[in-house]
Amino acid sequence: MIINLPNGLFPFQKEASLKLLDLTSDRHSKQTVVMKSPTGSGKTLILIDYIDEYLNSVDNKTAFVWLCPGKGDLEEQSRKKMDKYGAQRRTQNLFDALLNGFSAESTTFVNWELVTKSGNRAITDGEKKNLFDRIAEAHRAGINFIVIIDEEHSNNTAKANTIINAFVPKHIVRVSATATQNNRFEYFEIDETDVISEGLITKAIYVNEGVEDGMEIKDDYDCLLELADQKRKAIAERYKQTVKDKVIRPLVLIQFPNGQPETIEVVEKKLADMGYTYENGMVSKWMSEDKRDLPKNLTENDGIPVFLLMKQAISTGWDCPRAKILVKLREGMSENFQIQTIGRIRRMPEAKQYEDDLLDFCYVYTFDEKFKAGMLREEDHAYIPRRLFLKEKCKTFHLEKEVQNLQYGGLGDRDVLQKIYDYYTSKYHLGKDKEQNQKLLHELGGYVFGDKIINKFMGGVYVITESLQDSEEYRKVYKDADKRNHRIYLLHSLENISKAILMQRDSMKVILERLFRKHIVSPHKLVALDTKEYLAFIVNNEHIIKNDLDTAMAKMTEQLSYKIKPQTVTFKIPEQDFYKYDPMVKGEIDYLSNAYEGYTSGFATSVVRSTSETLFEKYCEEQDDIDWVYKNGDSGQQYFSIVYWQGAGKQRLFYADYIVKKKDGTVWIIETKGGESKGKDKNIDKQIANKFNAFKQYAAEHNLRWGFVRDKDCSLYINNTEFAEDLADEHWVPLKSVF
């Protein structure tokens, strides 16, 4: 039972602990139990109580292994809490376990990086017994393991799974604030409103308070930092009035997505101008490569620093209840806000609310447009890599594969400029009148002109963290396009545009300036924009420019594919390879048609394969005329590849999914793509047409059978004639009619 808590656990916490107990003591339960626990719900205390209850009432010959993210020293925080609240239960770290082993009723706290980082001595043979020896020793002593995976998304990798499986755990308990339901696991979640009701976290999240729709600002860094400081001062003053016997000093977190030196320097200078520096102790920095002036009491309510510069590194697993304000600064115009970061500012400093909205809310300031939980991996990505060995009859097979012709580097900048110019003049009916061209680009293409950078951002009050993902409450701010203040926005947009057609950013910069910038002499000028107008034009129209340039280059690359031949080398199927295996496969059967020994339906489930791949492998297994099927890799020189052309005449490698040999000796090469579901196209490959045409040309030159295969309504369709995006087109025919 939890001790040193005057009133014990909150009802929702005790309920969660008992739910874990029920699921891990029921022999009919699935091995893995997932608990979705909102940040601030006290998941550490819940888990401590659960461990104590399990050892008392279910099985005291159990050793718990508590795996924590590598960043933030979370394993030490969690161990200290268990030592304080856990009824004198024995705790240890990994090095204690290597020295003394895993004993019954022990809980071992492990930093993930100690066992997953490449070359780590903790799992290599040496003078001491390594981790696997100690696990085997515990099993021989009749000890069962239960593995707790805290913030499990942080290390959901193949190597991590190898470590977990080595324990042969009776149960795996996965805990995350952003877990998703999966039918392969037991699943339950703690309601965030229960956590709010008990006063453990803020009543609501206020996004961009004080930033009004239509507002004009000079610099977004200055605007957001000044608003955050005003709010910090107001909260600090209210704490003084409300909390008489303690000092609570609110902390502002300033988050950079990448932490570019120039953007950090700009913020440091702004803070210094406001009176906050490293030297006076008011500012600290916590980044993976730079931890500066981090006092020991940083997380305490009376900690001195009031601004902490950080990256995504401490988005999870860091507990600082005095953090009340989050400023997310961008280094480009199209970044997403990762909502789990908000968990850092939702806790209440005294684990209670004050019935005062100023103190009971937390505050976010950002000009990001979208809020996502996309950084996290979902539990349904859990799989095990397994090594398989090639069947003897497949070892003599060989085929010519294509590799890039290194003597050709792509189109020259002049050719690209001409192609883009021709595209714009044709699509938008442009001529020599630059003012008329500007009008046509706006009316026909939706291009925005002017000398203001337009920023759409979120605003409002939100109670549930995840509701931020679905919000449609947007506002706009306008900023003078100042090259000194917004140069990084321009560079970021140029980088994104250049990636669309695989060009160097500097080359892309020259081309766009020749097309749109006033003071650059060029016969290809479409619109004459001054410096501010040009900067705003590129930043505001980044998405439209990318789409237009991508389309402009398509026909040029198609023509090149017939003129410049790729190099060829001999391909042989690798004699051994790793494939992703789904350990939770039901009704597993051998796939005897596969080129590798031991390949089963467990290598072709929805966990590790797309729908079209799963259906195709099952189809092949049911055919009598197939000798063998080889599943090709996605990248790497050991796999079969075909060259296709993308962007500004750049060669790219395309790895077809399957090579199939039939019993009559014919060889088929098959590429699977997303099909249709409920009338919606599932294909996400924008280069599908380029790959189709390159594939068609390769097959003709090498006298091979081939086809693109897609799924619709659990049936497969093939096309090896003329590319059509719509599966209803006549060129898509049932697979069984051709293959």
Say if residues 607 and 582 touch (Cβ distance below 8 Å).
yes
Say if residues 666 and 705 touch (Cβ distance below 8 Å).
yes
CA distance 487 to 301: 39
Note the pLDDT of residue 490: 86
Count of beta carbons in the 10 Å neighbourhood of residue 58: 13
Domain shared by 298 and 403, yes or no: no
Count of beta carbons in the 10 Å neighbourhood of residue 680: 8
Domain shared by 403 and 417, yes or no: no
CA distance 493 to 499: 10
Q: Which of 165, 197, 229 is the last residue of a domain?
A: 197
Successive 10-residue mean pLDDT values, the chain, 739 residues: 76 96 94 90 93 95 89 77 86 91 95 68 57 92 95 57 86 85 83 92 91 83 93 96 93 82 87 95 82 81 93 63 90 59 88 94 85 44 76 94 71 82 94 94 94 81 76 73 74 84 84 92 93 92 89 62 74 92 84 94 89 93 95 90 75 89 94 78 72 87 90 90 85 91
Q: Which residue carries 């990636």 as its tokens?
A: 499
Note the pLDDT of residue 676: 77
Q: Would you say the C-alpha torsion 91, 94, 96, 101 has a positive or negative sign?
A: positive
Give the domain CATH number at 148: 3.40.50.10810
Note the pLDDT of residue 377: 39
Domain shared by 91 and 166, yes or no: yes
CA distance 228 to 362: 11
Exposed, middle or buried: residue 171 (CB in 10 Å: 0-12, 13-18, 19+)? Answer: buried
Note the pLDDT of residue 315: 47
Domain shared by 553 and 656, yes or no: no
> What is the number of structural domains in the chain?
4
Whether residue 93 is contained in a domain is answered as yes
CA distance 467 to 372: 10
| Biggest alpha carbon–alpha carbon distance for the chain | 88
Whether residue 290 is contained in a domain is answered as yes
Number of Cα atoms under 13 Å in the Cβ half of residue 586? 4
Structure tokens at 341: 């970061």
Domain shared by 470 and 391, yes or no: no
Domain shared by 584 and 537, yes or no: no
Count of beta carbons in the 10 Å neighbourhood of residue 602: 25
CA distance 272 to 59: 58
Whether residue 5 is contained in a domain is answered as no
Give the domain CATH number at 581: 3.40.1350
Domain shared by 599 and 660, yes or no: yes
CA distance 413 to 419: 10
Domain shared by 550 and 596, yes or no: no
Q: Which of 147, 162, 197 is the last residue of a domain?
A: 197
Whether residue 350 is contained in a domain is answered as yes
Domain shared by 390 and 481, yes or no: no
Give the domain CATH number at 328: 3.40.50.300
Structure tokens at 68: 């924590």
Domain shared by 77 and 212, yes or no: no
Structure tokens at 444: 């026909």
Listed residue (77, 164, 44, 62) closest to 107, CA to CA:
62
Type of residue found at 434: K
Beta bridge pairs of residue 718 = 709, 733
Exposed, middle or buried: residue 625 (CB in 10 Å: 0-12, 13-18, 19+)? Answer: exposed
Note the pLDDT of residue 555: 59
Note the pLDDT of residue 231: 97
The 8-class DSSP code of residue 97 comes to H
Whether residue 6 is contained in a domain is answered as no
Q: Which residue carries 């309601």 as its tokens?
A: 191
Domain that holds residue 94: 11-197
Structure tokens at 646: 């993308």
Report angle CA 460, 461, 462 to the nearest 5 degrees: 120
Say if residues 489 and 391 touch (Cβ distance below 8 Å).
no
Q: Would you say the C-alpha torsion 198, 200, 206, 207 has a positive or negative sign?
A: negative
CA distance 326 to 344: 8
CA distance 654 to 672: 12
Instruction: Write the DSSP assignment of 190-249 as a string of letters.
Output: --HHHHHHTTSB-SEEEESTT--TTEEES-HHHHHHHHHHHHHHHHHHHHHHH-SSS---
Whether residue 377 is contained in a domain is answered as no
Residues near 685 by beta carbon (within 8 Å), at least 6 away in sequence:
673, 674, 691
Domain shared by 111 and 156, yes or no: yes
Q: Which residue carries 């055919």 as its tokens?
A: 623
Domain shared by 365 and 273, yes or no: yes
Whether residue 378 is contained in a domain is answered as no
Whether residue 179 is contained in a domain is answered as yes
- How far from 80 is each of 48, 70, 83, 320, 700, CA to CA, in Å? 11, 16, 5, 15, 67
CA distance 69 to 149: 9
Say if residues 308 and 251 touch (Cβ distance below 8 Å).
yes
Q: Which of 563, 584, 619 is the last residue of a domain?
A: 563
